[in-house]
Amino acid sequence: MDKILEVKDLNVIFHIFKADVQAVRGVNFELNKGETLAIVGESGSGKSVTSKAIMGLIPNPPGEITKGSSILFEGKDLVNYTEKQMEKVRGKEISMIFQDPMTALNPTMKIGKQIMEGLVKHQGMSKQDARNRAIELLKLVGIPKPEQRVDEYPHQFSGGMRQRVVIAIALACNPKILIADEPTTALDVTIQAQILDLMRDLQKKTGTAIVLITHDLGVVANMAQRVAVMYGGKVVETGLIDEIFYNPKHPYTWGLLSSMPKLHAKMDKLLAIPGSPPDLADPPKGCPFAARCPYAMKVCTNHMPEYTELSATQKAACWLLDERAPKVAPPETIGVGGNQNG
């Protein structure tokens, strides 16, 4: 498969008063043409910072993408791009959908105009052409009466409708990559399913590769072909969706899967991973998950494990996979079956 995006050893540091927060610490992943890669992890694991880094939207200062990081888009390194060069990538080659549709649209600008801006800028369309295309896009994302609604303002749209508009804006210039940063988190469950269906449909039509950032494994199961699990600013496990769901190897992935509510199992309470994520202003020397890991060994706190290749597509960074480590079976609670999407 053709790699369209390759993130190599990405490090992002935020220089905050008296501390350097290492939000992303050596992240590696790649995205193939037309596929959906899910990046999962809990809050503060570095998912959003990674996506903003790809878009070149890390504010500097205080943010800094450190030397040695590279983000290869079609072989060209975006880290070295100037602001002017990035403007030609954003919205045209790589687009982004944001978490909260209620705040992601400019309240004082008509919907149509917000869609048209990118078209005029990147495709040099005339206002009339851009307007027609905006109506077309609104129809594409399933907004009824687009000819009329194109002239309305965001407050006249519901949350789900606004997210459709946000998607229309992102897809306006047929980008090669769409980064969706928790696109359904702020929506209620029925609308979530609609938005995910829409994204899948649009992907089929346009062939856009999607980086889906989420903490909702149900969404992942529905949308993605591959998964990268992030924890403490690092990718701890990556693999095909079946590998991650049915044969996970990293204890953090086990924890994530266990904490997902099951439809058919009788459960008295929801399982959680005890503890909280590491302080990235002073990250642990070893595995970031060691402090919360029920299987942690001495080596875990002092040395970061290397990746173990488990198949051509799956790898995980965990000392349990070392041949000298004791054999540990994953807990039964990870059991995945049936439809996980709400």
Partner 1 sequence: MVRFILKRTGYMLVTFYIVLTLTFLSMKLLPGTPFKQAQKLTPQQLNTLKSYYGLNDPIPVQYVRYVWNFIHGDMGGSFQYGNEPVTDFLFARFPISLQLGINAMIVGTVLGILLGIVAGINRGKSLDWGSTMVAIIGVSIPSFVLAAILQFFFSVYWRIFPVAGWGGFMYQALPTLALAIGVTAQVARFMRTEMVEVLNQDYIVTAQAKGLSRATVIYKHAVRNAMIPVITIVPPMTAAVVTGSLVIENIFNIPGIGSQFVDSIVTNDYPMIMGTTELYALLYIVSLLVVDILYQLVDPRMRVTGGKA
**Among 76, 88, 127, 298, which residue sits at the site for partner 1 (rule: CB under 8 A)?**
88
| 234 scored as a contact of partner 1 (CB under 8 A) | no
Q: Name the segment binding partner 1 (CB under 8 A); options: 118-126, 209-217, 222-230, 321-329.
A: 118-126
Site pattern 164..193 for partner 1 (x: CB under 8 A): --x--xx-x---------------------
Q: Is residue 47 close enough to count as binding partner 1 by CB under 8 A?
A: no
CB of 256 to partner 1, least distance (A): 27
Q: Is the Cβ of residue 86 or residue 193 nearer to partner 1 in the bound state? A: 86
State the number of binding residues for partner 1 (CB under 8 A).
35
Residue with tokens 């996979």: 321
CB crowding 80-118: b at 16 or more within 10 Å, else e: ebeeeeeeebbbbbbbbbbbbbbebbeeeebbbbbbbbb
Site string for partner 1, 2-41 (x = CB under 8 A): ----------------------------------------
Residues 6+ apart with CB under 8 A from 118: 91, 92, 169, 172, 173
Q: Which of residues 52-71 bind partner 1 (CB under 8 A)?
A: 55, 57
Question: What H or E segment, with its residue span, contains residue 332?
Answer: none
Give the residue, chosen from 9, 19, 77, 103, that forms a contact with partner 1 under the rule CB under 8 A.
103
Q: What is the distance between the alpha carbons of residues 248 and 273, in angstroms, rounded to a whole number?
A: 16
Burial 173-190 (b: 16+ CB within 10 A, else e): bebbbbbbbbbbebbeee
Q: According to the binding rule CB under 8 A, does residue 82 interact with partner 1?
A: no
Pairing of the two strands 63-65 and 3-16:
antiparallel
The C-alpha atoms of residue 150 and residue 172 are separated, in whole angstroms, by: 14
In the range 290-329, which residues lie near partner 1 by CB under 8 A?
none
Between CA 295 and CA 44 the distance in angstroms is 23
Distance separating alpha carbons of residues 125 and 130, to the nearest angstrom: 6
Nearer to partner 1, 107 or 338 (CB): 107
Site string for partner 1, 119-158 (x = CB under 8 A): --xx-----------------------------xx-xx--
What does DSSP say about strands 234-240 and 315-317: parallel, antiparallel, or unpaired? antiparallel
Q: Are 280 and 44 in contact (CB under 8 A)?
A: yes
Binding site for partner 1 (CB under 8 A): 55, 57, 83-84, 86-92, 95-96, 98, 100, 103-109, 114, 117-118, 121-122, 152-153, 155-156, 166, 169-170, 172
